[in-house]
């Protein structure tokens, strides 16, 4: 390989692979690329694999989705089912639903592909979400990666869009009800809502156009945008090189890990097959979306316990939590002769709007508060950024409360509690849950930092109890080696940055607000242990004992 | 005393104060020394790992065979039941899983056990170089200068105007995605046709309902007579016209002024489309006379003209005025007096025009 990439005029490759490589190289100039990337170093950590899972799920989605398009017919024309699923024989339904049933029952491997596709879609959104949590909690979104964070956030929204447009395609009762809810939400938009609804559905709900329109979005527009964003995302990963966790030998000027070829490529490539294998197992054994149980869409029936796919759950939950009437105050009222229906509009748009706005802007918010304009390539351990971690957990808990609310009826029936009580509790948690999460997380993070200091200065507990000559019992603490200790002490703990005057010598109101937030951000901090402190901890009068214990120190 | 993990405040666990400066930091000891794996030192272990990788690849072949056998040997003929499909599906899953996991775990095991595991450190390069930046700025300045756009505001302004307006056709061309809403949402199939009042019919078979069929405490899912005979827009009409019919003790109903004759002998009919976002309000609690929407749990009280008593809906379910015709069948005396289903911007306007 390396012989083939040295392009000398008289060069003749010796092996067959070498000749092929040389043929390609002399025409497209691949040797430069190979030289750049062939041994590029990638840091290794299990938490870096979530993004990989997302990428691989997308590949599997493309493969299984392509198979499904060969058999799926997105027409809403009426037909009578004539397939091999007996309970629905002769039932009037749309061609879309009928062809979805055919894929499930009359095409060998069709059901398997449908289930692979659906599970992969759920995993795709889930892995993006977890990947984003990893990026957030480790501070990987900081300079220079803010724009890649934005691209990733766009990918999350696109993944949800892809999921929702696909969910509706089989035109079964459950997905039809989902569309019905979307239609209701769209109609609540002031001024243009009714028009958007009519334009989307090609007339009144449900009409005969929506499935084929969603189909085009699902198989062309949205995947194309996702692909474009993935290309941008990975391009920026290459430009920035990957972040790395803090540890000995790792700093902002280097990247420590395994070379792409062969180890990293083998691990990452092998991981694709593992993701595929796990999805195949799930598709083989766990039924997902058994559309044949639901029947064709009909506006009249509905089954209790209806659930959207998990990633839409938080919006559905918010819709459930919002009361329509509080103490006689109706959230729907008439202004200037027009109807404003805030009981739908607020929960559908506001929580999701807040979540996504804060998500998109967070890198800039933190950069403004901390005035930190340096490049960061070494990640923060979440405990070492207590306030950020607490903010993240507050948002996460808020999301989870809404998500849980989407299953309020199932919670009530499963635990035999009153549905109304579940809703009241979740309404309360909607407001206080994030606050509790913030306080608890921040305290836990600070406690973990203190624990780290303790271990760095006094070593780890060995569980060995020793009785000293004068009768005192002590536990032997084993000191850390310098590599392990560096992992616990090698972090930054920024201090509060007070308001500074600008170039005219004036402290602006904005700067005062920034200083206030900086105080809120950094006022509680645990400084990393210093060598002097370590010295002091050891010079505690145990020098003799430590020496005699041979590499094991005693402290108390 | 020996345990420090509880962080006594007098010790090292104190929170540092803002004024306290760290004078020095621990020095980075560098990448930890590389530790050899068993397979690096023991040729037997290396050989064993090699065989394990080969075995995993072999398992993948077995998986592929399982898939092919399951695909071709299991017949999904006419008489194949759902059990056959489930069996085939499970075997296809197992086959694919073995085929993929065999390759995947094999490669990963190969990489972890046999490929070099030395951690390498690589320098990060600056994302941009100052030299490039200066050159790029100069190029941009030169380009702008050569176009002369700054010196010729007429060109600039007309171009901006043209570019700003040019996308309008791209928006306008979507104008035929759907018809104008007009008043379509304000009316349903219940409006009397050619002076004939519409009978209430059972959903889904469409047989008309006699008042005498509706016993105390019973509930019917109702569609307008003639809905099933529609050739076009059947679902559109059904999405607005479905109704729930219930019979209560007349004394428990408390009709408001003007609605006294909207029911018949304790039989009342309400729209089944939730006023929240349009799910069918399909659950009727006979004892409490509550109607519950299974989608978002809006609860309506039948004894208070379907007023909202819980959940996200804000408006009562619209009532359909009904009576009995000469043959004893239930009929709608008029359309709903207000638009049914989820609220929309023009809703109140439509309600007013319906009642005028």
**Considering only alpha carbons, which residue of chain B is nearest residue A199?**
B178
Work out the average pLDDT over B325-330.
Answer: 93
DSSP E strands in B108-153: the ranges are 120-123
Indicate yes or no: CB of B96 within 8 angstroms of CB of A482.
no
Give B88's contacts in chain A (Cβ within 8 Å). 108-109, 112
Residue A64's alpha-carbon distances to A67, A71, B50, B100, in angstroms, are 5, 12, 33, 15
Indicate yes or no: CB of B278 within 8 angstroms of CB of A271.
no
Indicate if the alpha-carbon torsion angle A525, A529, A535, A541 is positive or negative.
positive
Indicate yes or no: CB of B349 within 8 angstroms of CB of A337.
yes
What's the CA gap between A328 and A320, in Å, rounded?
18
B202 Ramachandran zone, left/alpha/beta (phi>0; psi -120 to 50): beta
Question: Whole-angstrom distance between the N-terminal and C-terminal Cα of chain B?
Answer: 87
Share of chain B above pLDDT 90, in %: 67
* Contact yes or no for B255/B263 (Cβ under 8 A): yes
pLDDT of residue A344: 95
Three-state SS at A94: strand
Give A408's contacts in chain B (Cβ within 8 Å). 297
pLDDT of residue A546: 43
What's the CA gap between A80 and A94, in Å, rounded?
8
Nearest to A474 among B2, B7, B235 (CB): B2
Give A527's contacts in chain B (Cβ within 8 Å). 16, 20, 22
Chain A nearest CA to B352, separation (Å): 9
pLDDT of residue B73: 92
Indicate yes or no: CB of B312 within 8 angstroms of CB of A322.
yes
pLDDT of residue A4: 47
User: Which is more confident, B260 or B66?
Assistant: B66
* Residue A79 burial (C-beta neighbours within 10 Å; 0-12, 13-18, 19+): middle
What's the CA gap between A495 and A340, in Å, rounded?
48
Indicate yes or no: CB of B85 within 8 angstroms of CB of A104.
yes
- Closest Cα partner for A497 from A522, A480, A478? A522
Question: Over the stretch A280-334, which tens digit does the pLDDT of each residue have?
Answer: 999 999 999 999 999 999 998 887 777 889 999 999 999 999 999 988 888 998 9
**Considering only alpha carbons, which residue of chain B is nearest residue A178?**
B279
Is the Cβ of B126 closer than 8 Å to some Cβ of chain A? no
- Closest Cα partner for B295 from A299, A201, A166? A299
Query: Which residues, in sequence order, are bridge partners of residue A478?
Result: A460
Angle at A431 between CA A427 and CA A437, to 5 degrees: 120
Indicate yes or no: CB of A273 within 8 angstroms of CB of B107.
yes
pLDDT of residue A543: 41
Give A189's contacts in chain B (Cβ within 8 Å). 345
Nearest to B297 among A200, A249, A423 (CB): A423
Work out the average pLDDT over B194-222.
Answer: 92
Indicate if the alpha-carbon torsion angle B346, B347, B350, B356 is positive or negative.
negative
Work out the average pLDDT over B22-30.
Answer: 78
Consecutive sets of 10 residues in chain A, 556 residues long: mean pLDDT of each?
49 83 84 83 93 97 97 95 91 95 93 96 97 97 95 97 95 93 95 94 93 96 97 94 92 91 91 97 94 92 81 94 90 91 94 96 95 93 96 97 94 93 96 97 96 92 91 90 91 90 90 94 90 80 42 41
Three-state SS at A323: coil
Is the Cβ of B242 closer than 8 Å to some Cβ of chain A? yes
pLDDT of residue B356: 80
Work out the average pLDDT over B155-170.
Answer: 95
What ipTM was predicted for this assembly?
0.89
**What residues of chain B, 172 to 211, have a C-beta less than 8 Å from chain A?**
174, 177-181, 184-185, 203-204
Three-state SS at B1: coil
User: Is residue B16 pLDDT above 60, yes or no?
Assistant: no
pLDDT of residue A31: 82
pLDDT of residue B76: 78
* Contact yes or no for A113/A61 (Cβ under 8 A): no
pLDDT of residue B194: 87
**Considering only alpha carbons, which residue of chain A is nearest residue B284?**
A304
DSSP string, A242-283: --B---TT--TTEEEEEEIIIIIHHHHHHHHHHHHHHHHHHH
Chain B nearest CA to A253, separation (Å): 5
Question: H-helix or E-strand containing A182?
Answer: helix A173-187
Q: Return the DSSP state at B56.
A: H
**What residues of chain B, 318 to 347, have a C-beta less than 8 Å from chain A?**
341-347
Chain A nearest CA to B153, separation (Å): 34
Burial state string for A278-291 with b = 16 or more CB within 10 A and e = fewer than 16: bbbbbbbeeeebeb
Task: Tell me the pairing of strands B290-292 and A460-467.
Answer: unpaired
User: Is residue B20 pLDDT above 60, yes or no?
Assistant: no
């Amino acid at each position: 390989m390396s012989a083939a990439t040295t392009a000398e005029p008289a060069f003749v490759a010796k092996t067959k692979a070498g000749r092929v490589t040389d043929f390609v190289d002399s025409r497209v100039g691949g040797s430069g690329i190979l030289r750049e990337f062939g041994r590029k170093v990638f840091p290794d950590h299990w938490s870096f694999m979530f993004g990989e899972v997302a990428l691989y799920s997308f590949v599997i989605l493309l493969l299984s989705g392509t198979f499904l398009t060969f058999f799926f017919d997105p027409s809403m024309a009426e037909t009578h089912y004539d397939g091999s699923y007996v309970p629905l024989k002769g039932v009037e339904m749309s061609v879309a639903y009928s062809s979805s049933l055919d894929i499930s029952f009359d095409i060998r491997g069709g059901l398997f592909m449908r289930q692979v596709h659906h599970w992969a879609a759920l995993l795709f959104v889930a892995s993006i979400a977890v990947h984003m949590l990893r990026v957030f909690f480790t501070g990987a979104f900081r300079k220079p990666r803010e724009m890649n964070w934005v691209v990733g956030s766009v990918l999350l929204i696109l993944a949800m869009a892809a999921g929702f447009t696909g969910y509706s395609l089989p035109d079964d009762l459950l997905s039809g009800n989902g569309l019905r809810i979307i239609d209701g939400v769209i109609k609540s938009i002031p001024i243009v809502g009714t028009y958007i609804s009519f334009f989307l559905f090609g007339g009144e709900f449900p009409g005969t156009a929506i499935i084929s329109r969603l189909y085009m979005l699902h198989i062309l527009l949205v995947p194309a945008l996702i692909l474009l964003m993935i290309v941008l995302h990975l391009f920026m990963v290459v430009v920035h090189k990957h972040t790395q966790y803090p540890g000995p030998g790792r700093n902002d000027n280097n990247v420590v890990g395994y070379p792409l070829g062969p180890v990293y490529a083998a691990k990452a490539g092998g991981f694709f097959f593992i993701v595929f294998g796990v999805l195949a197992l799930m598709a083989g054994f766990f039924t997902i979306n058994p559309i044949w149980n639901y029947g064709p869409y009909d506006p009249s029936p509905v089954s209790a316990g209806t659930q959207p796919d998990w990633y839409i759950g938080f919006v559905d939950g918010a819709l459930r939590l919002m009361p329509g009437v509080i103490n006689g105050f109706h959230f729907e009222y008439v202004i200037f002769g027009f109807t404003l229906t805030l009981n739908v509009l607020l929960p559908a748009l506001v929580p999701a709007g807040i979540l996504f706005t804060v998500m998109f802007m967070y890198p800039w918010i933190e950069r403004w508060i901390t005035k930190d304009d340096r490049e960061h390539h070494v990640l923060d351990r979440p405990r070492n950024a207590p306030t950020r971690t607490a903010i993240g957990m507050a948002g996460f808990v808020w999301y989870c409360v809404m998500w849980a609310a989407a299953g309020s009826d199932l919670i009530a029936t499963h635990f035999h509690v009153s549905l109304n009580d579940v809703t009241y509790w979740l309404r309360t948690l909607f407001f206080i849950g994030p606050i509790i999460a913030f306080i608890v997380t921040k305290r836990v993070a600070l406690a973990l930092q203190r624990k780290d200091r303790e271990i760095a200065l006094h070593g780890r507990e060995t569980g060995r109890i020793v009785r000293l000559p004068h009768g005192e019992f002590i536990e032997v603490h084993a000191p850390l080696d310098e590599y392990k200790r560096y992992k616990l002490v090698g972090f930054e703990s920024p201090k509060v940055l007070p308001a500074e005057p600008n170039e005219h010598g004036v402290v602006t109101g904005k700067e005062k607000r920034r200083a206030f937030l900086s105080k809120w951000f950094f006022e509680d901090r645990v400084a990393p242990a210093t060598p002097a402190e370590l010295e002091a901890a050891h010079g505690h009068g145990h020098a003799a004992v430590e020496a005699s214990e041979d590499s094991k120190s005693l402290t108390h | 005393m020996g345990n420090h993990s509880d962080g006594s405040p007098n010790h090292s666990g104190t929170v540092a104060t803002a004024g306290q400066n760290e004078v020095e930091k621990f020095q980075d000891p560098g990448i930890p020394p590389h530790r050899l794996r068993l397979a690096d030192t023991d040729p037997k272990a290396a050989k064993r790992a090699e065989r394990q990788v080969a075995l995993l690849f072999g398992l993948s072949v077995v998986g592929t065979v399982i898939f092919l056998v399951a695909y071709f040997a299991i017949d999904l003929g006419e008489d194949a039941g759902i059990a056959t499909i489930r069996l085939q599906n499970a075997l296809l899953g197992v086959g694919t899983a073995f085929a993929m996991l065999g390759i995947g775990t094999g490669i990963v095991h190969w990489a972890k056990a046999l490929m070099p595991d030395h951690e390498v450190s690589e320098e990060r390069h600056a994302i941009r170089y100052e030299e490039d930046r200066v050159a790029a700025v100069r190029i941009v300045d030169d380009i702008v200068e050569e176009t002369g756009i700054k010196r010729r505001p007429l060109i600039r302004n007309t171009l901006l105007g043209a570019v700003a307006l040019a996308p309008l056709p791209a928006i306008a061309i979507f104008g035929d995605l759907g018809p104008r809403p007009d008043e379509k949402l304000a009316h349903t199939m219940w409006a009397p046709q050619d002076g004939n009042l519409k009978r209430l019919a059972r959903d889904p078979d469409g047989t008309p309902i006699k008042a005498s069929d509706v016993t105390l405490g019973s509930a019917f899912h109702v569609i307008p007579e003639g809905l099933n005979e529609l050739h076009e827009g059947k679902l559109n009409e059904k999405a607005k016209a479905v109704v729930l019919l219930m019979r209560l003790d007349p004394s428990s109903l408390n009709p408001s002024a003007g609605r006294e004759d909207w029911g018949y002998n304790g039989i009342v009919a309400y729209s089944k489309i939730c006023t929240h976002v349009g799910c069918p309000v399909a659950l009727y609690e006979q004892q409490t006379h509550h109607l519950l929407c299974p989608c978002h749990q809006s609860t309506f009280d039948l004894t208070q003209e379907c007023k909202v008593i819980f959940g996200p809906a804000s408006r009562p379910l619209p009532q359909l005025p009904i009576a009995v015709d000469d043959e004893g069948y239930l009929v709608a005396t008029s359309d709903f007096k207000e638009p049914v289903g989820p609220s929309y911007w023009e809703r109140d306007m439509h309600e007013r025009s319906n009642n005028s």
